[in-house]
Structure 1
Amino acid sequence: MKIMIVESPKKVEKIQKELGSGWKVTASAGHIRDLPRRGDLGINIPGFTLNYEYIPPTKTANGTFPGGEQRVARINREIQDTDTVYLASDPDREGEAIAWHLKDSLGLEEDDYLRITFNAVTKKVIEAAVANPRKIDYQLVHAQEARRFLDRIVGFLVSPVLSNMLGMNLSAGRVQSVAVRLVVDIDRCIKAFKKTKHYGAQVSFDGGSWTAEWNTKPFVSDTSPYLLDEELAKRASMCRQFKIIDSSKDDALEAPPSPFSTSLMLQAASVSLKMDPAVTTKAAQRLFEQGAITYIRTDSVNFSDEAIEEIRTFANGKGWKLPENPRRFKSKSGAQEAHEAIRPSQMEVDEAGEDKDQRALYRLIWLRTMASQLADARYTVNTVTLESTDSAQPFEFKARGRVLTDAGWRVLTAKDAIEDEDESDTSNAGNVPLLTPGSNKQAESGKLLRKETQPPKRYTKASLIRKLETEGIGRPATLSAIMTNITERAYVSEEKRYLVPTEIGELIVDTLVKAEFSFMEMDFTRGMEDQLDLIAEGKLDYLDVVEPAYEQLLVELERISNSGEFKPRFTCPKCQGGMRRYNHPQRGAFWCCTDSECKTFMDDDRGKPVPRAVHHCPTCAAATPKRETALRRYKRKNSSGHIWACPLEGCDTFLDDLNGKPLPPQSCPKCNAPIRRYQKKDKDTGKPKGGHGWFCTNEDCKTFMDDDKGKPVAIKTAPCPSCGKNLVRRKSAQGGWWWPCSGFREGCKVVMDDDNGKPVPKGSASRSGKPPSKPVNGSKARPQMPTKLSIRPLNKK
């Protein structure tokens, strides 16, 4: 029996089916070991070796996901009766490191295992990998460890300093912070940009079928590149009589876009499918595990000779035009081309995937793969130069029209999937004819063009990925994670697909740049990526990279510590120490002095410390006026919102919360018992719905009241015009009012609109109160009332 250990459990069934009997396939379920998660740096200094520990178990919605130690123990039992262990983790540096962790944790000697990788989960590829095993490539392992080391020292040593400076828990990242800086820098360029109004002119010919635009170059200069003379532009736009100076016809070819690297796939899915990079990565991983596409983490934009031959054979069978020779594309500088570009595993399969996202992504990959090997698109380009003859001074106009004559690769796709709509070429002047030089031509109309210079565009996730790739920052396996980190940590926000820095993001960038950390500079970060590549190639040693980087970071941290320039953003009003923001699971956000002896606490007001608001217990103040006790604010258990409680033993005062302040105690108008405010919830989902209400805490009273801005008001009723029972005024989930009949259980289905607190027939309200978007009948017509258990006092300990 042979055993193959892969990373993903989702690959197991597919690979087991392809290998057949005599094999057992199992999965490590990703990483089994990592550096310590908390407390310890996890690096031996000197020596710079990494101290790994098993990844601990993780609680999930369905139970507990086993930790690395439990997974290793399971695999150890499975390999006891096997002849050969094949380590088949993913074919990249991270996968190579996982293979080494498995070998080390399982106690395998060099003769006990074989290392294989495959670029696609298909029978042919897997069998070829098994036939050509090797040993673990320790250069790749060391390159991955060096990356982990560099990320660790920045995150572990710089983040606490950054957090202390800004007074809240923040993280610095070797690549993440650079990405945020790019977003901040472009945002500031946009804010500093000043528009320049300038002018042009355009004339139309032959019923508007083509246009020519005024050539303003003779009227501008390098120091003043825009035409600012509106009167001159008006005169040019009024020209109607022209002489043809030149007319030419040319052929133009347009080559297809290259196949997908990881970066290009993420960009194309974001632009064409509006898919987030994290969603794209997940969908692509599932397609790979299903055997539908090749490996998804690659810098390459080229296919193997065998794959190209398959593509050309398939395209030829479809009657699509092919170039004489197979296409090869130029890779970006520093690309790691150990793997092919991303493509379908089987060219004849044009649809695959388990859900909508996977199917859409697969179709995008399939089209790109096929189009990349087809013939060029061919155009006829007509260019005409005209000169005005009816103006005091001659004005030159030019027209250039492009017409598609041979679709070539465009039989499959109308445009490059990565090209945004606002990036497309709009310079085509229409159906420009060939004209005889020296002949005359009359324009039918003209117009003044009012133009404005445009600021640089904000980054989208797609264009930020493109920028990082252009700068040589990040690698295929990290691009999606970078986008997720900077948005989930609220360092940038996404507004209509454009990335905008948050206040925290700007503070982080300003602080790290002011501190002159090397990793915030593009050249430094790009150079580090290059050095990691050299380790993988065996041209640099691990210590050649990590030791100088560590020593440089220590120098920078020491300089910051001794400079005296970096003081806390918020200081304690008592001792002038730094204030730090914390988030209590029950009481919400608050600030505390970092001096353990000071113990000054402050409230949080939109991310800033403010003096603590003191609300005294009304019960204690009435009983013993000289002993004023401050109420404490707690988060409600098992429900939304907060509650205020007296901390003194023996006092059972609990008050409801409205916008961070305790509501005054209220009494039931019927029995005088305390009346409490509650959040109405959907009966089926348990989620908040329809605002608040009030109920009497006396179980025998059963009085319910409506809520009006934190105050209890009587529930309004009116007789039902159909059955005579009461109509009851209710607030909908959308915030408007409506009147359902209380006799719904007996079959009355009357529902009326609300008009200034009175029931009116549906559709006749003056819209002062909005009726529900959809009438609710049956049991859902009544709001769900809370049980007594849901509002019992919280444990004050």
Structure 2
Amino acid sequence: MKYLVILESPNKITKVKAYLEQAFPNHNFIVKASMGHITELAIKNQKYALGIDLETMTPVYNLLETKKDTVKQLHELSKKVDKVILATDPDREGEAIAWHLQEQLNCKNKAVRLIFNEITEKAVKEAFAKQSAINYSLVNAQQARQMIDRIMGFKLSGLLQKAVNLKSAGRVQSVALKLVVERELERKEHNKLEYWTIKQEYQNGNDIELFLNKAKQEIVKEKVINSKTLADQILNELSNKLVVKEIMIENFSKNRYTPFTTSSILQYASVMLNFPSERTTSLLQHLFETGYITYPRTDSVRINDDFVLDTYEYIENNYGKEYVGSYKPKKLGENAQDAHEAIRPTNISLTVEQAKREIGNHSEFMLYELIYNNTLFALMANEVGKKYRVLFENNGYICKMDYKKYTFTSYYDLQEIALNSFDYQFEIGQILNLTTEWLAEQNFTKPNARYTEPNLIKKLEIEGVGRPSTYATVMKTLINREYIKFEKKSIVPTDNGIKAYTILQKYFANIINEKYTSEMEDILDHIADNKINKTEYLKLFYKNFILDYSNATNVIFKDSIKCSKCQIGYIIQRKSYKGNLFKACNNYPDCKNIVS
């Protein structure tokens, strides 16, 4: 048989074609790429201004001008084959692209869907054996998200532009902006409080600290030393002779490594490699397309059984049986999905040393190294040891010291990490004669730190705002719109960002918030699962949204003069690109009426 295989990216073509030809030598494969989406919601459509039929909640599409030649070529090829294999990415966007290709090529009678999570011979071969039809529920979910984003984005952006000459708003980006601005407002309102700590060094950098307890509750109210006077009083009562009163021991056995999700790799790459999320997203996609890692858009920490077994064998052969782990995927968060497994190397035998010779781009290699090591360590045995807390008595006060003793360090043996492991031999009743002085240190409470990019991404994930695959775009948009800026690595809202936040929260607080946005993600998931009717939900959403929008418009422009030229817009003060102020219609560019 003769097949036309359509991928999204040309980077996949060589390997996918080779794997198919090796696995099925009796078939003929033509492998091409759509180069991503081939359509867009129609813009500047006289009948459907948003690219949406708002009565039926039906999207109206245009073929992208830049894809007309591609689609024409694919259409001609589709006529000459027995089957058209739509092998776009394994997510909602990929499903929608597959559907658009099927429609534009008019090949429904010969089209099949192919889904693989990694570009390896085994994965491609297995996917070919499990050909399916397009999942229209996933397409509906993608369309619902796209239409909601278009309605909110265009309407709210237009209102901001007309009201205060700002550039954009959006379902997810405006909630991210809300988090940044509210953190800044919290910092400005923070009331700095004084407190003191009292401690002294024991051995090897370990500190013995004053442990405020009920014995001195009448002196140390609420367990806080809030003045130098009180700190000095306590210092005068403390001696350098401690008696061991209690030893608490807790066994631990844990693995601090978890397979990467999209969100966690964005955070780690920012902290460890200083990569912004947009760069990491691009590098991940290329590593996937060239066959080095699994699909990089995922909420799951699950790893498939075959890879786990291969890795166990690799660990045993290279490090010893005692290093082999017992992998149990951690429970997914409330807002997470499990459509794809975690981000991992496609081949554990492709070591970091070998990959360095193969991967030409150094940034891609560093990211691969991060993923490889994280996956390897996640499948290794737990670190094992004991956690100690020792309580000492000193003239009626209780002091404490915490430390760990490791008995097996597992993956730490492969890394140049100095572990603090101690083996003190304390006994109940033992008296310690300390040789250093107690030190009292003045401190002040600090406001919550500003978000960094990884911290903001983590917060968005925890709150269920958007999907991890959108976070890089959200950050890029906020920066490009000059709503946020970076001071060193901290995110600071600009005056424009605060202005946009203020208006959106004044009139649209019921939809521009974490809870509503998270619930909408759940609804999109339910549409994808065919549990909610897309059209009915969109009609209800639009009815409620447009009511809020109309009310906000009436309030914002109640004292403004209606434009005499278009009878739609209002005369507002605007600023030219040179910074000059003038009055003009806010219905620009449809109306170019300038009053002064």
TM-score by length of 2: 0.89
Equivalent residue for 1:539? Answer: 531
Task: Give the structure 2 partner of residue 231 of structure 1.
Answer: 229
Q: Secondary structure at the match of 2:505?
A: helix
Structure 2 gap ranges (5+): 564-569, 586-590
Q: 1:170 aligns to what?
A: 167
2:109 aligned with 1:103, yes or no? no
1:301 maps to amino acid: V
Query: d(CA) in 2 for partners of 1:307 and 1:431?
Result: 37
RMSD: 2.4
> In the TM superposition, what whole-angstrom CA distance separates every residue of 1:693-732 from its partner, at most 9, and x where no partner exists?
xxxxxxxxxxxxxxxxxxxxxxxxxxxxxxxxxxxxxxxx
Q: Distance in 2 between matches of 1:157 and 1:134?
A: 38
Q: 247-256 or 77-86, which moves further after superposition? A: 247-256
Partner secondary structure for residue 441 of structure 1: strand
State the identity %: 30
Instruction: Map 1:144-155 onto structure 2 (within 5 A).
Output: 144-155=142-153
Alpha-carbon spacing, 1:436–1:154, altered in 2? closer, same or farther (3 Å): same
Q: Tell me if structure 1 keeps the 8 A contact 2:212–2:223.
A: no
More helix by share: 2
In structure 2, relative to structure 1, the CA distance for the partners of 1:485 and 1:38 (3 Å cut) is farther
Kindly state the Cα deviation for residue 431 of structure 1 after the two structures are TM-superposed.
Answer: 4.1
Partner of 2:110: 112
Q: Is the 8 A contact 2:118 2:293 kept in 1?
A: yes
In the TM superposition, 1:489-500 aligns within 5 A as 489-500=481-492
Structure 1 residue 459: Cα displacement = 0.8
Give the corresponding residue for 2:77: 78
Match of 1:411 among 407, 410, 413: 413
Choose the corresponding residue for 1:461, options 453, 462, 466.
453
Measured against aligned partners, the alpha-carbon deviations of 1:360-414 in whole angstroms (never above 9, x if no partner) come to 000000011111111111233332211114xxxx221111111333112333457
* Counterpart for residue 396 of structure 1: 398
Aligned to 1:514: 506
Alpha-carbon deviation of 1:14? 2.1
Query: Which residue in 1 is equivalent to 2:594?
Result: 599
Once the two structures are superposed, the pairs formed by residues 172-191 of structure 1 within 5 Å of their partners are 172-191=169-188
**Paired residues of 2:90 and 2:115 also in contact (CA < 8 A):** yes
Q: Which amino acid is 1:580 matched to?
A: R
1:212 maps onto 2:214 in alignment:
no
- Is 2:385 aligned against 1:375? no
Q: What is the match of residue 244 of structure 1?
A: 244
Cα distance in 1 between the residues matched to 2:314 and 2:14: 29
Q: Specify whether residues 17 and 155 from structure 1 end up closer, same or farther in structure 2 by C-alpha distance, changes over 3 A only.
A: same
Distance in 2, Cα, partners of 1:465 & 1:567: 40
Give the partner amino acid of 1:96. E
The aligned amino acid for 1:246 is E
Q: If you compute each CA radius of gyration, which structure gives the higher value, 1 or 2?
A: 1
1:566 positional shift: 6.9
How has the CA–CA distance of structure 1 residues 90 and 205 changed in structure 2, closer, same or farther, with 3 Å as cutoff? closer
Alpha-carbon distance between aligned partners in 2 of 1:432 and 1:236, rounded to the nearest angstrom: 30
Aligned residue for 2:532, secondary structure, equals coil
Question: How far apart, CA to CA, are the structure 2 residues paired with 1:508 and 1:413?
Answer: 47
Q: CA deviation at 1:489?
A: 1.5
Distance between the aligned counterparts of 2:161 and 2:76, measured in 1?
A: 45
Residues 55-66 of structure 1 mapped to structure 2, 5 A cutoff: 55-56=64-65
- Map 1:28-67; keep pairs closer than 5 Å: 28-38=34-44, 40-56=49-65, 67=66
1:548-569 Cα shifts (integer Å, max 9, x gaps): 111111110121133357768x
8 Å Cα contact 1:200-1:216 kept in structure 2? no
What displacement does 1:256 show?
2.8
Inter-partner Cα distance in structure 1 for 2:4 and 2:484: 46
1:579 to 2:576 alignment: no
Mapped partners of 1:220, 1:275: distance in 2:
49
Structure 1: which amino acid aligns with 2:301? V
CA distance in 2 between counterparts of 1:599 and 1:150 reads 33
Equivalent residue number for residue 122 of structure 1 = 120
Residues 384/357 of structure 1: CA separation in 2 closer, same or farther (3 Å cut): same
Asked if 2 retains the 8 angstrom alpha-carbon contact of 1:210 and 1:432, the reply is no
1:570-624 CA-to-partner distances (Å, cap 9, x unmatched) read x9xxxx93112343xxxx45444224797345xxxxxxxxxxxxxxxxxxxxxxx
Write the mapping of 1:313-392 to structure 2, written as runs, cut at 5 A: 313-320=313-320, 321-322=322-323, 325-351=326-352, 352=355, 353-389=359-395
Q: Secondary structure at the match of 1:125?
A: helix
Correspondent of 1:556 among 542, 548, 552 = 548
Q: Which is worse superposed, 592-601 or 87-96?
A: 592-601
Instruction: Give the match's secondary structure for 1:594.
Output: strand
Change (3 A) 1:176 1:248: closer
Distance 1:349 1:324, change over 3 A: closer
Q: Structure 2: which amino acid aligns with 1:545?
A: Y
Residues 244, 435 of structure 1: 8 Å contact kept: yes
Deviation per residue, 1:502-521 (Å, 9 max, x gap): 11000000000011343212
Write out per-residue CA displacement over residues 143-200 of structure 1, whole angstroms, 9 at most, x where no aligned residue: 000000110000111211111111x241110111000110001111111112211112
For residue 13 of structure 1, what is the aligned residue in structure 2? 14
- CA distance in 1 between counterparts of 2:340 and 2:96 reads 17
Per the TM alignment, residue 339 of structure 1 is displaced from its structure 2 partner at its CA by 0.8
Which residue number in structure 1 is paired with residue 567 of structure 2? none
Larger relative contact order, structure 1 or 2 (CA cutoff 8 Å, min sep 6): 2
Query: 1:91 and 1:244, CA in 2 relative to 1: closer, same or farther beyond 3 A?
Result: same
Q: Deviations over 1:498-557 (max 9, x none)?
A: 110011000000000011343212111111000000001111111232111111111101
**CA-CA distance at 1:323 after TM superposition:** 5.9
Q: Is the alpha carbon distance of 1:337 and 1:36 closer, same or farther for their aligned partners in structure 2, counting shifts above 3 Å?
A: same
Judge conservation of contact 1:209–1:431 (CA < 8 Å) in 2: no
Partner deviation per Cα, 1:114-153 (whole Å, 9 max, x = no partner)? 1001111111111111111000000000000000011000
Deviation at 1:325, TM superposition (A): 3.6
8 Å contact kept, 1:249–1:434: no
> Given the superposition, is the C-alpha separation of residues 579 and 539 from structure 1 closer, same or farther in structure 2, using an over 3 Å criterion?
same
- Tell me the CA shift for residue 324 of structure 1: 6.5
Q: Give yes or no for contact 1:400–1:432 (8 Å, CA) kept in 2.
A: no
Q: Secondary structure of 1:577's partner?
A: strand
Distance 1:185 1:93, change over 3 A: same
Match of 2:159 in 1: 161
Q: Cα deviations across residues 635-679 of structure 1 (Å, max 9, x unaligned)?
A: xxxxxxxxxxxxxxxxxxxxxxxxxxxxxxxxxxxxxxxxxxxxx
Q: How many Å apart are 1:314 and its aligned residue?
A: 1.2
- For 1:359 and 1:85, locate their aligned partners in 2 and report how far apart those are by CA, in whole Å: 35
- The 8 Å contact of residues 577 and 593 in structure 1, kept in 2 or not, is answered as yes
Q: Which amino acid aligns with 1:364?
A: L
Asked whether the 8 Å contact 1:220–1:227 carries over to 2, the reply is no
Secondary structure of the residue aligned to 1:198 is strand
Q: Deviations over 1:311-333 (max 9, x none)?
A: 21111112253466432211111
SS at match of 1:81: coil
Measure the CA separation in 2 of the matches of 1:412 and 1:369. Answer: 13
Could you tell me which residue of structure 1 aligns to residue 274 of structure 2? 274
The 1:432/1:511 distance shift into structure 2, 3 A limit, reads: farther
Looking at structure 1, the residues matched to 299 and 134 of structure 2 have their Cα atoms a distance apart, in angstroms, of 22
Q: Which structure has greater strand proportion?
A: 1
By how many angstroms is 1:41 displaced? 0.8
C-alpha distance in structure 1 between counterparts of 2:52 and 2:103, whole Å: 18
